[in-house]
Structure 1
Amino acid sequence: MAWMAWTTPTAIFFAVIACLLLVFTFLAIRFPETPRIGLLRIETTRGDRLFISLLGSAFLCLGWLAAFGSPLWGALICCLIYAAAVFRWV
């Protein structure tokens, strides 16, 4: 893995994603849910909403970098608000 730039932020990012997947797997086993129809008028489960929020957050961060550059603290706040909205209304 020497070819990859493993920095502390990169390791934290992948660790958080792995923990999210483990938590959502546990929730799916412990508390099964039925899909619900939200604002997008498609059936979504917790995992679907997680995927939508991660994908949207990636685009928000790219847009932030294009508009403002780094640091990404403002983008992180926008992503957290976006994820909360996705889990609430989608």
Structure 2
Amino acid sequence: MLQWMVWTTPVAVFFICIGLMLVGMTVWELKSPTSLRKGFLPIATTRGDRLFIGLMIMAWINLAYVGLGEKMMDWFGLEDSPSLWIGFAVSLLVLAWVMRKG
């Protein structure tokens, strides 16, 4: 049933982290309801809004990183494609930034 997806360790960790974030945000919201806040994003957002926006950006960063993997091999003269952990780490940093300052 899941043969169409390449379930590597980075992919599994990525989805596990997303699931843990959703559970954590749900618990946080139940214990401490959020209010609208204006950060660098052009709209006032709640924690849930920033998480959604951050997760979308994470997905785009990871897709772009995977899509550009072969081109990065040519650009930087690498023998193997770059590690998926790099894209994952970059996307987590961007998510943390959006959650904190967005």
Shorter chain as denominator, the TM-score bin is 0.7 to 0.9
Task: Provide the aligned length of Structure 1 versus Structure 2.
Answer: 88
Q: Residues 48 and 61 of structure 1: is their aligned pair in 2 closer, same or farther, counting only changes over 3 Å?
A: same
RMSD: 2.1
Gaps of 5+ in 1: none
Gaps of 5+ in 2: 71-80
Letter in 2 for 1:57: M
Whether the 8 Å contact between 2:65 and 2:87 is mirrored in structure 1 is yes
Structure showing greater Rg? 2
Higher strand share: 1
Q: Secondary structure at the match of 1:33?
A: coil
Mapped partners of 1:41, 1:15: distance in 2: 30
Normalising by the residue count of structure 2, what TM-score does the alignment of the two structures yield?
A: 0.71
Identity %: 35
Normalising by the residue count of structure 1, what TM-score does the alignment of the two structures yield?
A: 0.79
Q: How does 1:55-74 map to 2 (within 5 A)?
A: 55-69=56-70, 70=81, 71-74=83-86
Return the structure number with greater relative CO, CA threshold 8 A, min gap 6: 2
Mapped partners of 1:14, 1:76: distance in 2: 11
